[in-house]
Amino acid sequence: MSHPRVEAVAGEARAAIGAAASSAELEAIRIRYLGRSGEVTQILKSLGTLPSEERREVGAAANEAKRELEALLESRLQSARDAERRRQRERERPDLTLPGRRPPRGVVHPLMRAREEIVTIFTGLGFSVAEGPQIETDAYNFEALNIPRDHPARDMQDTFYLSPETLLRTHTSPVQIREMRAHKPPVRVICPGVVYRRDADITHSPMFHQVEGFAVDRDVTMADLKGTLDLFAREMFGPRSKIRFRPSFFPFTEPSAEVDVVCFLCAGAGCRVCKQSGWLEILGSGMVHPQVLKNVGYDPEEVTGWAFGMGIERIAMLKYGIDDIRLFFENDLRFLGQFA
């Protein structure tokens, strides 16, 4: 069944559908003829204004034209979308003849670089490596190291306590106690690890890294300590490095000494970095206190020992010319990329 008015609109729509080149054009045609204000829809809406004898004929023809156009549009839309997807795949298809892209390479963090260099130097001298727990007891962190509860040296370390008897270790020295209690002399051990103190500014961090080193045997002397640290300084900072010992105090060593290395920027002449002194402080050291030897079951009449402790951040800042400790922990790729 057909009607001249309906056939004219349907023929126009068929021609437009046949000429459409994309799914967007077909959607525009659907709206134009079959949308709420579309031409076929308007014919259906105007049926009430027609004479009753013409209403049935026009209505049947309009509904038939609507079904035909919907089917035709659906078929053409599917074909158009398939063609568009094929063209998109062609545009996006990778060129297998192009050279591959290298993924960006990570770098060793400067702290880990310094730590590994320190460990390599001392393992080359026959030291073994030991690590201990970061959550430590007061007994290992203080008492066994000759720092009882009423000792003024406790004021030197602002501690993170978890309970009256447990804390985040303030130094790696507790590993020294654990190792000496587990092994009989001779022992030569370095203990790298993370430590914690309530301190934060451009040269201090509440979490930082230390390396503890110690040697215990018969007839160990301060001269052995000096020779070992002199070699370490030359390996770490260059063959022209020199060190000096300054008297100091640590409750777990006696005698005790701070160790400085000659400023490698000004060769001892004095500059801004060494504050015109010509020297840079790198670590603390001394002979193991007899009471500490007794606390681990050693006889201080039979054996002696020495120990040292250094901050890895301090060593890395001096070695690489870094003036703010916070740069180590900000994970800025511009900073880290300089150590590639």
DSSP string, 116-179: HHHHHHHHTTT-EE----SEEEHHHHTGGGT--TT-GGGGGS---BSSSSEEE-SSSHHHHHHH
Each residue's pLDDT tens digit, 160-203: 889 989 999 999 999 999 999 999 999 999 999 999 988 777 76
What is the average pLDDT value for the chain, to the nearest integer? Answer: 87
Q: Kindly state the average pLDDT of the residues 35-53.
A: 78
3-class secondary structure, 251 = coil
Whether 263 shows a pLDDT value over 70: the answer reads yes
Pairing, β 253-262 against β 279-288: antiparallel
Task: Examine the pLDDT at 268 and tell me if it is beyond 90.
Answer: no
Under a CB-based contact definition with an 8 Å cutoff, are residues 20 and 26 in contact? yes
Per-residue pLDDT at 156: 65
Predicted confidence (pLDDT) per residue in 307-322, tens digit: 999 999 989 988 888 8
Main-chain phi, psi angles of 133, to 5 degrees: -70, 145
Q: Where are the beta strands (DSSP E) in the chain?
A: 128-129, 135-137, 166-168, 187-196, 207-217, 243-250, 253-262, 279-288, 304-311
Q: What pLDDT does residue 1 have? A: 46
State the pLDDT at residue 2.
Answer: 56
Distance in angstroms (rounded) separating the CA atoms of residues 288 and 220: 10
Residue 328 in this model has a pLDDT that exceeds 60: yes
pLDDT tens column, 115-167 = 999 999 999 999 999 999 999 999 999 999 998 888 776 766 688 889 989 99
Mean pLDDT of 58-70: 79
Q: What are the extents of the domains in the chain?
A: 4-92, 110-339
pLDDT score recorded for residue 61: 78
- On the question of pLDDT at 48 being above 80, the answer is no
What CATH homologous superfamily does 110-339 map to? Answer: Bira Bifunctional Protein; Domain 2 (3.30.930.10)
pLDDT for 14 equals 82
